Structure 1
């Protein structure tokens, strides 16, 4: 596909602002689907993107789940990766040198099993950011707090299900860092609009949603789940109507920016999230279908704007 040149897009305003951070366009790659950007950087210039949310990191390294990790479903995908990652220290030492070179918004997705894990992880990221800033460098623009992680002290229930449990995590992480904080919400929350409102109350500057829906696949011949952990996260086009509805509900409830996600597989899908009120949109599973998803979506949004006579995304944001 031929991509548009800078000269053809100068009259279009695609800039988005989230938590005081400016994104050149609304296309942001979702955590867990883009690594830390290095591999996709061999396929196209990732600086064309509005932003990257890196692979989720935790205080200590995690090996991830055993057995099958990804399984295709009708109009979607189930994943049971299990937050495999090198740990925060390795991320800061080995990945951030490359992130410093990227001309796009760089978001660290932070996971944890206890409140202490979350807070200590945020503190480490913040200290590293301050040290780099002292020498005129920058590798991280914001933290995305993943509260869909299992709470190891509450029998494995995800932090993001009950607002009262999630509040402590958001509060402690907010106190541990001066970086802009965005909270990634679980669709399994008892009331996702209440959860978003709590995040705003506790000082989060943005929320992102939705994370994957809990799903299952049974191997009828073997008479067992295909996943060692029984359940897995469902993503892809199948979840888009649910994601769109939840984004719209949250946008009506809070005054902070919302980044939408869930089932985007084309520019008009992305535009729908903006019309529902999202400031920007994350893209996940589509990266596995189309290795050029990033530039194709950037071009597609600009093409839609030209065809519809839209000069700025602010003209259609939250139009419903």
Structure 2
């Protein structure tokens, strides 16, 4: 037997392959293809205090080496997750990391405070690529001071690990990484999607209704690898979770070699709903 157990900070995982937020539903959507309990962890679709319907269609488009999405953080809301989804995940024995977002610091806090009433949650992953409505729409993850304020405000609310999922679009990725760690983040997830544009030559309009979206998939892997390497070099003791274009076990190994303790598989799942298991099997081999 190959020993694949790993640690992301204080959190011990049975293996380093995680399902990425936004690509695996809430952990049960693809259960026939990939049982959530087989993975190191499942990172849920982002949760907000109330349900959101997201952006208008079209909101996803395939690219030559990946996809662009502008889903608009559609989700069922934290209450529905706690009552309708989490009990089944808990019963199956899945390791659950809940992705949390908000338009204000108070909304992040509301979600975590509700989740704190529940058992069966291993950690929180903060999506800081969200615009703060109180700061003129600036993303939390773009301003080190704004990010530090968010993380330090949430830190006292829980004893569970707090991961911060960083945006690659920040003016200074190392500055926001340092801000998150200094404010109490237990680990960093690197990276979220790259801001991108697709144009339909026939309609002469953007392919996505909102114009810009987030690019993910194989196209971003070299960029994501560089950012993981840079952050690991600057903060060698910081636990890192690598994400960006992981399609195979070899891709996963590359992220582990540059400093990640675990990886998340995302866009590959749209191509193969069992991609997480495939990556895990190839990594074991």
Shorter-chain TM range is over 0.9
Q: Following TM superposition, by how much is the alpha carbon of 1:93 offset from its aligned partner in structure 2, in angstroms?
A: 1.2
TM-score by length of 1: 0.86
Is 1:281–2:263 an aligned residue pair?
yes
CA contact (8 A) 1:120 1:176 kept: no
Tell me the equivalent position of 1:258: 240
In structure 2, the CA distance between the partners of 1:169 and 1:296, relative to structure 1 (3 Å rule), is: same
Partner of 1:88: 78
The answer to whether the aligner puts 1:24 opposite 2:14 as a matched pair is: yes
C-alpha RMSD of matched pairs (Å): 1.2
Shift of residue 139, structure 1, vs aligned partner = 1.9
How much has 1:123 moved relative to structure 2? 1.5
Give me the whole-angstrom Cα distance separating, in 2, the residues matched to 1:175 and 1:195. 20
Aligned equivalent of 1:299, options 275, 281, 285: 281
Pair 1:107–1:263, CA change in 2 (3 A)? same
Looking at structure 1, the residues matched to 14 and 57 of structure 2 have their Cα atoms a distance apart, in angstroms, of 39
Question: Displacement of 1:104 after TM fit?
Answer: 3.4
Query: Are positions 1:41 and 2:31 aligned together?
Result: yes
Aligned counterparts of 1:164 and 1:153: Cα–Cα separation in 2 = 14
SS in 2 for 1:41: coil
Contact in 2 for aligned 1:170/1:202 (Cα 8 Å): yes
* Aligned twin of 2:158: 177
Rounded to whole Å, the distance in 2 between the matches of 1:37 and 1:188 is 28
Structure 1 gaps, min length 5: 1-9, 130-137, 304-320
- Match of residue 94, structure 2, among 100, 104, 107: 104
- What are the equivalent positions in structure 2 for 1:144-293 lying under 5 Å apart? 144-254=125-235, 255-293=237-275
Structure 2 residue aligned with 1:57: 47
Alpha-carbon distance in structure 2 between the residues aligned to 1:302 and 1:223:
47
* Contact preservation (8 Å) 1:99, 1:140: no
TM-score scaled by length of structure 2? 0.96
Q: Contact between 2:59 and 2:210, CA under 8 Å: does it hold in 1?
A: no
Further displaced range: 281-290 or 293-302:
293-302
Q: Give every structure 1 segment of 4 or more consecutive aligned residues whose post-TM-superposition deviation is greater than 6 Å.
A: none
Deviation at 1:219, TM superposition (A): 1.9
* 1:207 Cα offset (Å): 0.7
Structure number with bigger Rg: 1
Q: Number of residues paired by the alignment? A: 284
Superimposed CA distance per residue, residues 217-262 of structure 1 (whole angstroms, 9 cap, x where no aligned partner):
1123322212221110100000000000000111112222100000
